[in-house]
């Protein structure tokens, strides 16, 4: 009889736990629109102090790290644990965002109590999932106590001055996570070297970027098929993009002037089909992982053979063929800026030609001299 009584109690407890979990899940969805809340920033008299509650945690190597060490850098502070269902669920979004916003420090603080959570367990979990963000361990519970964390996950968005700008309670949807990041970080999406002349509406010529760009792809273009006397009229070239539903992030005219047709946080449609490094990730998908740059140019006779007959090519003004010094100069400066801001290595392995991705393409072609940008 006693055993039966305990079985009944156990079943009731299980029912309560399951019901509470379901209710929490439903409530979380219901209040999702409100679980990212802006906070009031108090005035600080001493600008040398770090305004947010400071704490010390340890990194993977056991080194002590303080939150205030990141003053001058926007921080996404997240409290998590492997036993927390919603923490685990939101982790892939945090990983994606950390790659997309490399200038923002993601401080992923694990609630390492040594019983329910250990350094080894948390490290194994992150490594197994392949997450790229840095993790930190709150073995003394200093961080948790400093922020009064009683439920997980919990996220704070801290600006470069060290002020808490917003707080996320519970699991954050990706759009809320991005919105929180944008409250603390003004990401430059158009090079200051360029004149913004977007192809609009943006959604008709691009997708929102989900992955951090890893490459820059170079192309050449012109309107030589329709206008052999003046193939570089920028208005006519732009119309080619508009009429064909194509796009590019940047285009450089013959005088070296740079135009931005698509901001860097949008995926321009320029790469098309192709393969790269025998990695399926890039197969027919390089648009997602690259920033595209067009230069107004006409290639060699071989490059242009699918567009112009031999006699048509020979009749062109020789000054129209190839690339100008002004273009090389602007391209070098633009590459330096784009690669620095997007943390793309400025080398030949990461600055690639369209022809390398798809051998059927011929750009930037035989008339493009790589040593003019990699000396």
The predicted structure's pLDDT at residue 15: 47
pLDDT for residue 18 is more than 50: no
Residues ≥6 apart with Cβ < 8 Å to 310: 301
Torsion (CA) 131, 136, 140, 145 in degrees, nearest 10: -90
d(CA 194, CA 219): 17
As a whole number, mean pLDDT of residues 79-88 equals 95
pLDDT at site 333: 97
The length of the chain is 375
**Is the per-residue pLDDT at 7 higher than 90?**
no
* pLDDT confidence bin for 30, thresholds 50/70/90: very low
CATH C-level class of 195-372: alpha beta
Instruction: Give pLDDT, residue 5.
Output: 54
What kind and span of H or E run contains 234? Answer: helix 234-244
Asked whether the beta carbons of 293 and 260 are under 8 A apart, the reply is no
Residue 314 has pLDDT above 50, yes or no: yes
Tell me the C-alpha distance between 5 and 287, whole Å: 63
Distance CA 198, CA 192 (A): 14
Give yes or no for residue 25 having a pLDDT over 50.
no
Tell me how far apart the alpha carbons of residues 163 and 54 are, in angstroms, rounded to a whole number.
Answer: 11
> What angle separates helix 85-100 from helix 174-184, to the nearest 10 degrees?
50
* The pLDDT value given to residue 265: 93
The CATH class that applies to domain 32-184 reads alpha beta
pLDDT band at 22 (very low <50, low <70, confident <90, very high): very low
pLDDT at 353 (0 to 100): 97
Q: Which helix (H) or strand (E) holds 260?
A: strand 258-260
- Domain-by-domain residue ranges, the chain? 32-184, 195-372
Confidence of residue 37 (pLDDT cuts 50, 70, 90): confident
In the predicted structure, residue 325 carries a pLDDT above the cut 50: yes
SS3 353: strand
Q: Kindly report the number of other CB atoms within 10 A of residue 153's CB atom.
A: 25
CB atoms within 10 A of CB 205: 21
Q: What is the pLDDT of residue 29?
A: 40
Structure letter (DSSP) for residue 18: H
- Name which residue leads in pLDDT, 114 or 354: 354
Confidence tier at 47 by pLDDT (50, 70, 90): low
Q: Burial code of 155-178, b = ≥16 C-beta within 10 A, e = fewer?
A: bbbbbbbbbbbbbbbbbbbeebbb
Whole-angstrom distance, CA of residue 204 vs CA of residue 46: 49
C-alpha distances out from residue 352 to 219, 260, 275, Å: 9, 19, 12
The pLDDT value given to residue 57: 96
- The residue with tokens 């784009």 is 338
Tens-place pLDDT, residues 262-291:
999 999 999 999 999 989 999 999 999 999
Query: φ, ψ for residue 206 (rounded to 5)?
Result: -165, 170
Write the CA distances from 2 to 6, 7, 13, 16, integer angstroms. Answer: 6, 9, 17, 21
Mean confidence (pLDDT) of the chain = 89
Tell me the per-residue pLDDT of 235-269, one tens digit each, with 9 for 90 and over.
Answer: 999 999 999 999 999 999 999 999 999 999 999 99
Q: Residues 85-135: pLDDT tens digits?
A: 999 999 999 999 999 899 999 999 999 988 889 999 999 999 999 999 999
Where do we find the tokens 């707080």? 167
pLDDT band of 36, cuts 50, 70, 90: confident
Strand partners, 166: 38, 157
Average the pLDDT over each of 27-41, 141-155, 237-251 and give the range with the smallest value: 27-41
Q: Render pLDDT for 48-78 as a digit per residue (tens, 0 to 9).
A: 578 899 999 999 999 999 999 999 999 999 9
């Amino acid at each position: 009889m006693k055993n039966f009584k305990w079985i009944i109690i156990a079943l009731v407890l299980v029912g309560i736990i399951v019901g509470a979990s379901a209710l929490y899940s439903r409530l979380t969805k219901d209040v999702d629109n409100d679980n990212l809340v802006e906070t009031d920033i108090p005035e600080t008299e001493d600008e040398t102090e770090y305004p947010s509650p400071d704490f010390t945690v340890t990194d993977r190597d056991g080194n002590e790290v303080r939150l205030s060490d990141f003053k001058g850098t926007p921080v996404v502070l997240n409290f998590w644990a492997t036993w927390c269902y919603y923490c685990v669920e939101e982790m892939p979004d945090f990983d994606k965002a950390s790659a997309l916003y490399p200038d923002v420090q993601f401080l992923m603080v694990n609630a390492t109590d040594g019983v329910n959570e250990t350094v080894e367990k948390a490290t194994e979990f992150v490594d197994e999932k392949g997450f790229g963000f840095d993790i930190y361990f709150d073995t003394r519970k200093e961080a948790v106590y400093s922020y009064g964390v009683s439920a997980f996950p919990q996220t704070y968005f801290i600006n470069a001055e060290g002020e808490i700008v917003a707080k996320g309670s519970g699991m954050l949807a990706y759009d809320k996570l991005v919105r929180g990041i944008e409250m603390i970080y003004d990401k430059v999406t158009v090079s200051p070297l360029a004149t913004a002349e977007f192809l609009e509406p943006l959604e008709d010529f691009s997708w929102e970027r989900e992955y951090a760009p890893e490459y820059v792809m170079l192309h050449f273009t012109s309107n030589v098929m329709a206008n052999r006397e003046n193939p570089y009229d920028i208005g006519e070239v732009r119309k080619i993009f508009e009429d064909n539903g194509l796009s590019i992030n940047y285009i450089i005219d013959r005088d070296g002037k740079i135009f931005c047709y698509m901001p860097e946080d949008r995926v321009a449609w320029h790469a098309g089909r192709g393969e790269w490094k025998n990695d399926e990730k890039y197969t027919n998908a390089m648009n997602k992982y690259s920033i595209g740059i067009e230069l107004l140019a006409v290639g060699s006779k071989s490059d242009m053979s699918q567009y112009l007959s031999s006699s048509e090519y020979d009749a062109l003004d020789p000054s129209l063929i190839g690339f100008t010094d002004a273009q090389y100069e602007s391209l070098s400066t633009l590459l330096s800026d784009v690669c620095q801001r997007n943390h793309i290595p400025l080398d030949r392995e990461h600055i690639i030609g369209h022809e390398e991705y798809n051998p059927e393409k011929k750009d930037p072609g035989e008339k493009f001299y790589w040593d003019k940008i990699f000396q």
